[in-house]
Structure 1
Amino acid sequence: MGERATGRWRRHAAQVRTDKASARMTPDEREKLEAAAARVGLRLGGYLVEAGLRLADQADPAPVVVPMPAVVGVDRALLEAWVDASVLLRQYGNLVNQSVKLWHRSRGGPMPAGLAEAVELTNVVARRVDVLVAEYRRR
């Protein structure tokens, strides 16, 4: 029988990767990752998937910690509260975008239920930001 050709093993059709994800990186990070991928004979996307799966398969993977730069004169608790507010704002933005998209699809029909949820989240975020600003001003 013929020998198996050298090169990367192809997955069976049932194992084809069809889902996509995107990642933001600096040009330097991309260059470093592409070089590492080339060393093992993969393209960047395949390398990222394989590296991520290896990390996910570890029994107790080390957490990925991005060091926070030292900021002189900033209260850590206040900074964390602002970060939490930022997360809520992103969630709000996603809900609003989804709601507007649905509303446009309906060609101006009744307002989708998601829009009411987005408005409620807006109110929550606005109240939280108001509290944070008031706390900051008291200092």
Structure 2
Amino acid sequence: MQVVKEQIMRALTTKPSSLDQFKSKLQNLSYTEILKIRQSERMNQEDFQSRPILELKEKIQPEILELIKQQRLNRLVEGTCFRKLNSRRRQDKFWYCRLSPNHKVLHYGDLEESPQGEVPHDSLQDKCNIWEINP
């Protein structure tokens, strides 16, 4: 309800001269747009621009980025199953890919059915060395 209220209030502040203009303004102020505006306004508040906040942000940013990197690598090591499309756009087979625990090789291969849990590296027929991938 707060988002709807904010959409209406923001649309009315532009002082639309007709109902069609008002509706148009409302359509431009989607839920995601309101969230972006709110976030932008919060970031511009004085509290977020104060020296202690900026110093804290600068101090913890490398640690947070490293955590994100580790989470992404862990997800790649777990592996993921994808539906495989054939020439007639049917999705009757699966394709699985995962990164080796040492992060040096991508193992992948076709599967007849969706796996229940992790697929072992040795059951995946194909592999690609990471160093062979062009950036």
Decide which structure has the larger Cα Rg and report it. 2
- The higher-RCO structure (CA 8 Å, 6+ apart) is 1
TM-score scaled by structure 2?
0.29
- Specify which structure has the higher proportion of helix: 1
